[in-house]
Amino acid sequence: MIYTNGGKATKHGNSLGEKGRNRVKTFYYTGGSYTGSCAGMFISSISYYSTGTWGSYYHIWPGRTKTTDLISTATGHFIPENSPLLQYYDFGGDFYIDSVRHNKGGYAREDIDFPQETEVLLRYDLPVWNMHEKVSCWAYKKFNNNGRIVIIGSHPESSISGECLDLMTAILLYAIDGQGDININGTLYNGQKCIMDKSTTENDPAYIKIGNKQYHHFKIEIPEGVSKLSVVLDGEDRYHLNLYLKKEDFAFRSGADYADTTDGADKTISVSELSSGTWFIGIECATTIGTINRDRGYEYTGNLDVLNGVSYSIAASWDITE
């Protein structure tokens, strides 16, 4: 999931450039979810004008936004009875969240180009201003293989307690729960080795390196009469990769039938007897980076090379009893 913070949406987009914005789009359209508050809300849309397309925005939510021009004021939010956020918290049972920080944020325009798949999660409560009862928080997911967009015009992200913190948590959870369908990287055949060593600039996603905290998934079709299966993962020594195996479902750390999570990148799973059918191989890049909170923001620490991807090969082989 990607989160874009407040500030200036146009400056956010311009700082990324067309290449950076396209990477956000690709992340979303291939299953990653997106959240943002204030500027992070605006930048996801087509434009904050009633016509045209704003070039420096992501355009992943195909609707239009409008600014409230309200500066440094806490606002209330009505919770519709069918809001998906209620599956995470009841917010006191009164369908209302009070005193959420707001600073020049906006709302979704329901009168122009409002996408029918948009879910209204909250509405503003501020009778003295033009934003009253306008859509303040909303979600969007059109296709199963896309992620889910969950965005808000106010600023709950700095809250450390109470219903405002619950709101931010619910926004993140609903976005994460809306990730796109898992993609299979490929099918392995008996004795075949698949080498995953391509960078994103090579435009060959079938053989892309694995990224920081990412999973890759392969499947194998095991025929009747297999006496032994061996799955071998060979990765770069400077990283930690994990290997998982599961029948008839994707193989993750939680719920795998077999796993090798020992240190390093080279792993092997051997199974002497296993039933026929579809088996899934999961590969996890457990190496990640750390952060240090500096005065002007966070600084990445650790093995930063993992952000460029880790090369590896994966092979599966089995014997068939005659």
- pLDDT digit string, tens, across residues 204-254: 888 999 999 999 999 999 999 888 999 999 999 999 999 999 999 999 999
My answer on whether 17 and 129 are in the same domain is yes
Whether residue 291 has pLDDT greater than 90 = no
My answer on whether 31 and 123 are in the same domain is yes
Question: 304: domain CATH number?
Answer: 2.60.120.380
Report the amino acid identity of residue 70.
L
Ranking 51-60, 182-191, 290-299 by mean pLDDT, the lowest is 290-299
My answer on whether 160 and 15 are in the same domain is yes
Integer Cα distance of 322 and 313 in angstroms: 30
Q: Contact, 55 vs 106, CB < 8 A?
A: no
Phi-psi domain of 92 (left: phi exceeds 0; alpha: psi -120 through 50; beta: other): left
Integer Cα distance of 123 and 261 in angstroms: 46
Domain boundary residue, one of 157, 177, 197:
177
Whether residue 322 has pLDDT greater than 70 = no
Please give the pLDDT value at position 320.
Answer: 82
* Reported confidence tier of residue 200, pLDDT bands at 50, 70, 90: confident
Rg (Cα) of the chain, in Å, rounded? 23
For the chain, the three-class secondary structure string (H helix, E strand, C coil) is CEEECCCCHHHHHHHHHHHHHHHHHHHHHCCCCEEEECHHHHCCCCECCCCCCCCCCCCCCCCEEEECCCCCEEEEEECCCCCHHHHCCCHHHCCEEEEEEECCCEEECCCCCCCCCCEEEEEEECCCCCCCCCEEEEEECCCCCCCCEEEECCCCCCCCCHHHHHHHHHHHHHHHHCCCCCCCCEECCCCEEEEECECHHHCCHHHECECCCCEEEEEEEECCCEEEEEEEEEECCCCCEEEEEEECCCCCCCCCCEEECCCCCCEEEEECCCCCEEEEEEEEECCCCEEEEECCEEEEECCHHHHHCECEEEEEEEEECC
Only one residue has tokens 């392995």, namely 188
Whether residue 124 has pLDDT greater than 80 = yes
90-103 confidence digits (pLDDT tens) = 999 999 999 999 99
Whether residue 151 has pLDDT greater than 70 = yes
My answer on whether 123 and 190 are in the same domain is no
Integer Cα distance of 114 and 119 in angstroms: 11
My answer on whether 25 and 135 are in the same domain is yes
My answer on whether 173 and 198 are in the same domain is no
Cβ partners under 8 Å of residue 82, min gap 6: none
Domain boundary residue, one of 143, 177, 211:
177
Whether residue 78 has pLDDT greater than 70 = yes
Please give the pLDDT value at position 226.
Answer: 87
Tokens of 17: 């450039």
Question: 146: domain CATH number?
Answer: 3.40.50.880
Whether residue 29 has pLDDT greater than 90 = yes
My answer on whether 166 and 228 are in the same domain is no
Domain boundary residue, one of 147, 177, 207:
177
Domain containing residue 121:
2-177
Mean pLDDT of the chain: 95
